[in-house]
């Protein structure tokens, strides 16, 4: 069964879903066609000049992002030194910043920093008991990568592998003594 | 022509990272999007969605108190079909299979892994405005048809978590 968007505009979605078993297929008009009306002639194509403009915008933002990132990374080390009373909050804050870095750094040409943040987030997502040494090593790796004007990607890859080995070793310890 | 259609769009951008909101707004602004509405979580996004009636939603996955999955499910079962079928592009650093499957089951239209690139945003937007996905309404799912193409009779469907989103 198939119908068009205009057929029953005001029906409740949930009701539609449960009343129309087993499955109802709805054709959706193209947004380009709908917005352009009679001016619509063909699907819109990627315009290299527009893409270039978008990439320039990212480059402009990258300059200020690096300053933000340096500040974010600097705020991480004090969090692992926080007392046990606010450990939960510190952990949450630490993860939130690392998650932010994981999502943003690569866009601004700082993929190495982003990869360290990804490793740290992965560690924090999979473990309840955290080893502050592993977290510290990740933070230091991020700090060094962001402050190095020309980071060595081979060295960064090796550092990342070392961090992953540390995490694996912690997993083995947890299984042995946990 | 490419600019003219984007000038007519309203895009809702949802992310709990102020810098990500700034980045995505900047990229969309350079693309020429007419109206960019931002929200810091799913709750704020929901009220702005109802008020602004955007043409496209770009949303993060993990947010408090309401995440991008809950926002998408809520949006898919809104009262009007016009609003309920708005394309939702999830932009997330959670690129694990389980997260992508969860996003698909919530009813997203497409998925972009962070870190984002200008090209990825541009291409996904072109895709959702040019090639709308047929919608499926069943007892337990409302959202874009998960199949990218129809298999020929007798041919096994080649479904995978990424391929059919």
Q: Rounded to whole angstroms, how far apart are CA atoms A23 and B141?
A: 9
State percent of chain A over pLDDT 90: 52
Q: Can you give the pLDDT at residue A16?
A: 53
Domains in chain B with CATH codes:
2-144 (3.40.50.2300)
Q: How far apart are CA B45 and CA B14, in angstroms?
A: 6
Contact A100 B26 (CB under 8 A): no
Which residues in chain A have Cβ-Cβ distances shorter than 8 Å to B140?
17
Counting one residue from chain A and one from chain B, the pairs whose CB atoms sit within 8 A come to 178
Any idea which residue has 């949802």 for tokens? B14
Strand partners, B14: B39, B59
CA nearest to B75 within chain A: A13
B24, B33, B141 from B10: Cα distances, Å:
14, 7, 26
- Among the partner-chain residues A2, A9, A50, the one whose CB lies closest to the CB of B3 is A50
pLDDT by residue for chain B (165 residues), tens only, comes to: 444 799 999 999 999 999 999 999 999 999 999 999 999 999 999 999 999 999 999 999 999 999 999 999 999 998 788 899 999 999 999 988 999 999 999 999 999 999 999 999 999 999 999 999 899 988 888 899 877 655 554 455 554 444 344
Cα distance between residue A8 and residue B78, in whole Å = 13
Q: Are B142 and A45 inside 8 Å of each other by CB?
A: no
Q: What is the pLDDT of residue A147?
A: 87
What are the structural domains of chain A? 2-39 (no CATH), 48-177 (1.20.120.160)
Separation between Cα atoms, residue A146 and residue A65, nearest integer Å: 11
By Cβ distance, the residue of B79, B115, B136 closest to A25 is: B136
CA B65 centroid distance within chain: 19
The β-bridge partners of B64 are none
- The separation between the first and the last C-alpha atoms of chain B, rounded to the nearest angstrom, is 28
Task: Look at residue B163 in the predicted model and tell me its pLDDT.
Answer: 39
Q: What is the mean pLDDT of residues A84-102?
A: 86
CA distance B21 to B24: 5
Q: Is the pTM of this model over 0.90?
A: no
Q: What is the pLDDT of residues A27-84, one digit of tens each?
A: 998 999 999 888 888 888 999 999 999 999 999 999 899 999 999 999 998 888 765 5
């Amino acid at each position: 069964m198939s119908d068009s968007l205009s057929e029953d505009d005001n029906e409740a979605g949930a009701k539609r879903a449960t009343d129309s078993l087993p499955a109802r297929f709805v054709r959706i008009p193209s947004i380009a066609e709908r917005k352009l009306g009679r001016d619509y002639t063909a699907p819109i194509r990627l315009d290299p000049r527009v893409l270039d403009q978008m990439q320039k915008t990212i480059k402009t933002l990258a300059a200020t992002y690096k300053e933000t990132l340096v500040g974010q990374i600097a705020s991480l080390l004090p969090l692992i030194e926080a007392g046990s009373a606010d450990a939960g909050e510190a952990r949450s804050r630490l993860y939130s910043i690392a998650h932010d870095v994981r999502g943003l750094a690569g866009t601004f040409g700082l993929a190495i920093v982003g990869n360290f943040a990804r490793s740290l987030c992965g560690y924090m997502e999979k473990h309840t008991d955290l080893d502050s040494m592993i977290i510290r090593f990740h933070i230091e790796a991020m700090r060094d990568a962001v402050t190095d004007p020309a980071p060595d990607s081979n060295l960064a890859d090796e550092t990342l592998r070392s961090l992953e080995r540390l995490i694996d070793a912690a997993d083995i310890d947890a299984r042995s003594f946990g | 022509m490419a600019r003219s259609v984007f000038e007519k769009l309203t895009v809702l951008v949802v992310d709990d990272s102020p810098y990500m909101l700034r980045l995505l707004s900047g990229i969309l602004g350079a693309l020429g999007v007419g109206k960019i509405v931002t929200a810091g979580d799913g709750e704020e996004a929901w009220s702005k969605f109802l008020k602004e009636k955007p043409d496209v939603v770009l949303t993060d996955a993990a947010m408090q108190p309401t995440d991008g999955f809950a926002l998408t499910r809520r949006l898919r079962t809104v009262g009007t079909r016009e609003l309920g079928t708005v394309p939702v592009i999830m932009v997330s650093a959670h690129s694990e299979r389980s997260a992508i499957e969860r996003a698909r089951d919530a009813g997203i239209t497409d998925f972009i892994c962070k870190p984002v690139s200008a090209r990825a945003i541009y291409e996904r937007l072109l895709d959702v405005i040019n090639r709308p996905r047929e919608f499926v309404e069943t007892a337990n799912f409302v959202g874009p048809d998960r199949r990218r193409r129809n298999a020929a009779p007798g041919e096994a469907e080649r479904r995978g978590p990424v391929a059919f989103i």
